């Protein structure tokens, strides 16, 4: 077997996988990649599912306990302890090929003005997912998204869904499969640790723009995404999504603008709830209700599924 750490971008990168009761997903992901690729698992389930075993036999594998403090904090811990100049954050339920990972890193090596390069995730049906990146939220963009007009005006909403190979400029990129230069990432503060989950990628995109750096979505690098998520319940995740969005909006908008966007997003979620119920899609309806709950009541208790810790 060729040693992928001996040449090219493979010398420089380390995969960062933040997990939360995701052992089976991580096992499948690692099985699809060369054994010698540097990888660090930052485990937010505190070892409860034995995910540490997956890197024991990997020559460049590391395991860290994320202590259940959320994605951003665990990802930053992995970044701070890495010795590689480039990091690729990879969700457990994505399936990138090794060559796709090195393609992202090669972009960073060749262009020092780039602060992040992301792959484009595709659903099991092959369609590009909504939210592979997006734009800074405004009232107009929130209205387009909430009304469903983003399907007709694909560059006027909050979230992007470009066609494969379509060039597109975005304000932020998904962290599902994203490469960053380690030193620059850390110098900008990494991901905002005040976000337990969601919107840390939007916040990082803002930091890059404010620093005068560029970011690139590779719409020619298509990564399968199962969308299986983590061990957390779907409703809790969606409530967290709503809560994180409000937190981000509150920081960067006036109270009047915040209220307008919050009401707009809430109305959109309510409309989608009703449509889902009419179509007998009860699970989807509960998800939209949970998102709305997050918009108004805040984050769920993410520690309820965690194992007890020593005093």
- The pLDDT score that the predictor gives to residue 3 is 54
Q: Are residues 69 and 180 in the same domain?
A: yes
Could you read off the pLDDT of 160-180 as tens digits, one per residue? Answer: 999 999 999 999 999 999 999
For the record, the structure tokens of 88 come out as 């690729």
Q: Is the pTM of this model over 0.75?
A: yes
**Of 76, 71, 38, the residue nearest 55 (C-alpha):** 38
Classify residue 220: in a domain, yes or no: yes
**Of 275, 282, 273, the residue nearest 242 (C-alpha):** 273
- The pLDDT score that the predictor gives to residue 69 is 80
- The pLDDT score that the predictor gives to residue 233 is 83
From 194, 224, 254, the end of a domain falls on 224
Q: Are residues 40 and 118 in the same domain?
A: yes
In the predicted model, is pLDDT for residue 198 greater than 50? Answer: yes
Average pLDDT score over residue span 112-131: 96
Q: Are residues 134 and 258 in the same domain?
A: no
Q: Are residues 244 and 137 in the same domain?
A: no
From 161, 192, 224, the end of a domain falls on 224
The answer to whether the CB of 139 falls within 8 A of the CB of 261 is yes
Q: Are residues 87 and 181 in the same domain?
A: yes
Q: Are residues 130 and 72 in the same domain?
A: yes
The answer to whether the CB of 130 falls within 8 A of the CB of 155 is no
- The pLDDT score that the predictor gives to residue 232 is 62
Q: Which residue would you say has higher pLDDT here, 304 or 119?
A: 119
**Of 111, 27, 86, 68, the residue nearest 305 (C-alpha):** 68
Could you read off the pLDDT of 265-288 as tens digits, one per residue? Answer: 999 999 999 999 999 999 999 999
The answer to whether the CB of 217 falls within 8 A of the CB of 122 is no
Q: Are residues 197 and 265 in the same domain?
A: no
Q: Are residues 61 and 15 in the same domain?
A: yes
Q: Are residues 20 and 109 in the same domain?
A: yes
Taking each helix axis from N to C terminus, what angle separates 234-252 and 255-278, rounded to the nearest 10 degrees? Answer: 160
Could you read off the pLDDT of 16-44 as tens digits, one per residue? Answer: 999 999 999 999 999 999 999 999 999 99
Where in the sequence is the domain holding 174, given as residue range(s)? Answer: 9-224
Classify residue 144: in a domain, yes or no: yes
Q: Are residues 23 and 170 in the same domain?
A: yes
Q: Are residues 164 and 256 in the same domain?
A: no
- Residue 108: pLDDT band (50, 70, 90) is very high
Which residues touch 66 (CB under 8 Å, ≥6 apart)? 18, 19, 42, 43, 44, 46, 73, 74, 77
The answer to whether the CB of 203 falls within 8 A of the CB of 247 is no
- Residue 309: pLDDT band (50, 70, 90) is very low
Structural domain tally of the chain? 2
Could you read off the pLDDT of 212-265 as tens digits, one per residue? Answer: 999 999 999 999 998 665 556 889 999 999 999 999 999 999 999 999 999 999
- The pLDDT score that the predictor gives to residue 308 is 37
CATH of the domain at 55: 3.90.550.10
Classify residue 178: in a domain, yes or no: yes
In the predicted model, is pLDDT for residue 1 greater than 60? Answer: no
- The pLDDT score that the predictor gives to residue 68 is 72
Dmax (CA) for the chain in angstroms is: 60
Q: Are residues 183 and 288 in the same domain?
A: no
**Of 200, 185, 14, 3, the residue nearest 101 (C-alpha):** 14
- Residue 202: pLDDT band (50, 70, 90) is very high
From 224, 252, 287, the end of a domain falls on 224
Could you read off the pLDDT of 62-103 as tens digits, one per residue? Answer: 999 976 789 999 999 999 999 999 999 999 999 999 999 999
Classify residue 310: in a domain, yes or no: no
């Amino acid at each position: 077997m060729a040693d992928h750490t001996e040449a090219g971008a493979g010398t420089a990168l380390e995969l960062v996988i933040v997990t939360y009761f995701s052992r089976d997903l991580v096992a499948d992901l690692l099985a699809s990649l060369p054994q010698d690729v540097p990888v660090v698992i930052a485990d937010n389930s505190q070892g409860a599912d034995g995910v540490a075993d997956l890197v024991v036999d990997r020559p460049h594998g590391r395991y860290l306990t994320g202590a259940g403090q959320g994605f951003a904090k665990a990802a930053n811990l992995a970044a701070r302890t890495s010795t590689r100049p480039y990091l690729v954050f990879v969700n457990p339920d994505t399936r990138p090929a090794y060559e796709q990972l090195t393609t992202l890193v090669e972009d960073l090596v060749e262009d020092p003005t780039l602060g992040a390069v992301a792959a484009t995730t595709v659903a099991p049906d092959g369609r590009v997912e909504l939210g592979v990146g997006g734009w800074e939220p405004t009232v107009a963009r929130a209205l387009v998204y909430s009304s469903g007009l983003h399907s007709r005006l694909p560059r006027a909403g909050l979230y992007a869904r470009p066609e494969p190979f379509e060039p597109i400029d975005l304000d932020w990129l998904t962290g599902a499969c994203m490469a960053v230069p380690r030193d620059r990432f850390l110098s900008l503060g990494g991901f905002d640790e005040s976000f337990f989950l969601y919107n840390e990628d939007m916040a990082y995109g803002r930091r890059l723009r404010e620093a005068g750096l560029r970011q690139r979505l590779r719409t020619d690098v298509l990564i399968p995404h199962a969308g299986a998520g983590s061990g957390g319940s779907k409703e809790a995740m969606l409530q967290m999504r709503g809560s994180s969005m409000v937190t981000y909006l509150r920081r960067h908008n006036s109270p009047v603008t915040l209220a307008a966007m919050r009401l707009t997003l809430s109305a959109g979620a309510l409309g989608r709830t009703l449509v889902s119920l009419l179509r007998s899609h009860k699970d989807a309806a509960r998800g939209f209700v949970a998102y709305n709950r997050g918009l108004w009541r805040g984050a769920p208790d993410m520690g309820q599924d965690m194992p007890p810790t020593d005093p």
